[in-house]
């Protein structure tokens, strides 16, 4: 609105040396007299909150230089890569994703931990008449759920927090087969089951699943079980060590959850 910059301009004019001060008027409600700015007058922060870290000068004037410095350091540091190769009906995969991976990601955030989900696991693929067919360790339902989650990740890829939340919702549901619709309604109500199923039943779904198969089958060393967890491309043998490992590897300002851990953070 036009009056906001005008008000700021008037305030600056009143603080400039040589501009007469405005005396308070009798009968006013105690508005203080504005004096000319002296050489010792402290600069006034006139920036909105979202601009406090836009420059060093703004952070100094608004007295947020310490907080902004921590933010700038964090933004300059890449997040730790965590990749999960899993399958939808694997009990260990469900437990790890819902009880360790998702909570750890929520605690640390995108700036610290970058998660990649690859639903395929121990499935097998074969090419039949120019199209890919899949068989899964836990049967046809698992193949369908793998495909559903793959399409969720694909269609919501630009909104990964929502995609991850939907996958976590499905993996933690007692009835995974019927979990897609309620999970979508909670996290992305503008996306329908039909939107996802068009991907699942069409050529796009098989193409995406083939890409998951390629990523899984070309792991080095190859995976021998699921869940198969890579942290910075190195296999994490003990899933319980996920939080500790990410905290150790991250080179930026570590979150408080890392500082409160029982081990000293090694740099």
Distances (CA, A) of 138 to 83, 89, 120: 22, 7, 11
Q: Mind giving me the DSSP string for 48-75?
A: -GGGTTSSHHHHHHTT-HHHHHHHHHHH
Instruction: Tell me how far apart the alpha carbons of residues 56 and 50 are, in angstroms, rounded to a whole number.
Output: 14
Residue pair 65/56 in contact (Cβ under 8 Å)? The answer is: yes
Supply angle C-alpha 190, 195, 201, rounded to 5: 165
Residue pair 89/138 in contact (Cβ under 8 Å)? The answer is: yes
Residue pair 262/120 in contact (Cβ under 8 Å)? The answer is: no
Distances (CA, A) of 219 to 76, 92, 146, 154, 237: 29, 20, 19, 21, 15
**Residue that is written with structure tokens 């942290």 in the block:** 231
Which token pair is 247?
């905290």
Supply angle C-alpha 26, 32, 33, rounded to 5: 85
115, β-bridge pairs:
82
Residue pair 231/241 in contact (Cβ under 8 Å)? The answer is: no
Instruction: Tell me how far apart the alpha carbons of residues 122 and 90 are, in angstroms, rounded to a whole number.
Output: 10
Give the architecture-level CATH label for domain 80-259.
3-Layer(aba) Sandwich (3.40)
Can you give the pLDDT at residue 141? 97
**Where in the chain is CATH 3.40.30.10?**
80-259
Mean pLDDT per block of 10 residues along the chain (267 residues) reads 44 44 43 44 75 77 76 74 98 97 93 96 93 95 98 91 95 97 95 97 95 97 97 96 95 85 46
Sort 41 into a burial class: Cβ within 10 Å, 0-12 / 13-18 / 19+: exposed
Instruction: Tell me how far apart the alpha carbons of residues 211 and 153 are, in angstroms, rounded to a whole number.
Output: 13
């Amino acid at each position: 609105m036009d009056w906001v910059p005008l008000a700021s301009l008037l305030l600056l004019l009143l603080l400039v040396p040589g501009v007469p001060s405005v005396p308070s008027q009798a009968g006013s409600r105690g508005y203080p007299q504005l004096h000319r700015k002296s050489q010792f007058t402290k600069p006034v922060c006139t920036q909105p909150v979202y601009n406090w870290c836009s420059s060093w000068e703004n952070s100094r004037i608004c007295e947020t230089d310490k907080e902004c410095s921590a933010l700038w350091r964090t933004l300059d540091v890449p997040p730790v890569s965590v990749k999960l190769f899993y399958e939808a009906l694997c009990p260990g995969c469900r437990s790890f994703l819902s009880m360790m991976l998702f909570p750890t990601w929520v605690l640390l955030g995108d700036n610290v931990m970058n998660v990649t989900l690859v639903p395929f696991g121990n499935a097998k693929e074969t090419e039949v008449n120019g199209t890919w067919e899949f068989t899964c360790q836990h049967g046809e339902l698992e193949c369908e759920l793998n495909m559903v989650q793959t399409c969720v990740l694909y269609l919501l890829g630009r909104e990964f927090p929502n995609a991850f939340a939907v996958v976590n919702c499905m993996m933690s549901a007692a009835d995974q087969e019927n979990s897609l619709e309620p999970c979508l309604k909670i996290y992305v109500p503008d996306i329908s089951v039909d939107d996802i199923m068009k991907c699942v039943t069409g050529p796009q779904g098989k193409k995406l699943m083939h890409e998951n198969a390629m990523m899984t089958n070309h792991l080095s060393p190859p995976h021998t079980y699921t869940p198969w967890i890579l942290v910075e491309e190195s296999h994490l043998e003990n899933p319980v060590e996920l939080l500790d490992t990410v905290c150790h590897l991250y080179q930026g300002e570590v979150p408080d959850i890392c500082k409160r851990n029982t081990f000293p953070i090694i740099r």
